[in-house]
Chain A
Amino acid sequence: MREDASDDEAISRTLEGDRSAFETLVRRHAPAVFRVAGRHVPADEVENVAQEVFLEAFRSLGSFRKESPFEHWIVRIAVRACYRYWRGRYRAKEIPISALSAEHQRWIEGALAAESAREFTTAADRKAAVEVLRQAMNRLKPEERTVLTLVAIEERSIAEAAKLLGLTSVNVKVRLFRSRRRLREVFERIVAGERK
């Protein structure tokens, strides 16, 4: 299969049984799937989730109607796979909800007390921020963290998030509002816990 073959051609060839055509699709679209998974699931789970995405695409390829680009289709599958990942962990109660270290608690309090975010730009601040957000997100429900990740971290529009999740824009706005409120409650609890 030529590497420059179009997605449509690669899909048709895959459905005809050409293994190399599917490999072309995998190689071409894996970076986009890894980017999505990298934002939604822990780094050590990205490969597993991405593999699940391509296997689902492989099984469902016959249903792809070519009404939108293949990449849009596979990104939708990726977002849903990430959601399912968290839903599975949530149900199995496998999401670690450990207390933040005293260092991170101090960092949160310092940040909230600071005049602006401009004071927190060092690599150490970024590392602390990522860890704090990870811990806080672990306290959210799967749908809350998925919506929040799509809109607040990936910076997708409400309409785009709605399309990816199969929800109306109003539903996404409502879930986003609830997610943000819940996240703030989590931070308030963390800070209040430190003061006790």
Chain B
Amino acid sequence: MQFSEEELINGCIKGDRLMQKMLYERFCKRMLAVCLRYSKAQQEAEDILQESFIKIFDHIKTFRRECPLEQWIKRIVINTALKHNRSKLYMYPALDIEDLEKPVDENITLSDFHYKELLEMIQQLAPRYQIVFNLYAIEGFQHKEIAQMLGITEGTSKSQFARARALLQQMIIEKKRVNYERYT
């Protein structure tokens, strides 16, 4: 039986465990994909997802329906992931934007890659690069917003994003080269 979002929300507000499970099942796969982008492994991502859903069920009565439910849930998942990774954000010294290497190739296309391959590359980044790249490139936040969310300067956010972007480009080129050699 397919419940509407409204029914799921109301059921969860009442603490109906069945509705909570339905809501979980509806969004868990997409949210796990989000968690995986902010973590290094499946187990860590599942920990984040578990914590996120507990928060979701706790606070669903505060959901004001001003945005789609999925967006609200995703925001909670991202916040939980950030909280989970906050301690890792300052493990590496920040680079100035001027110190960055020039992009390797601006015309890189990703259509040849499955998302899991791209996910593996993102997971190989240092945590702060991984987070800033996710927030800027995939979630679409501005550097100013990212700086506020992470408690860093806007410049730091930009520099870390640039570094992450460059690293990913290098990884993609390398991957393309390996694939090319494999098939030729």
Partners in one complex: no
Interface of B with A (CB < 8 Å)? none
CB within 8 Å of B: which residues of A? none
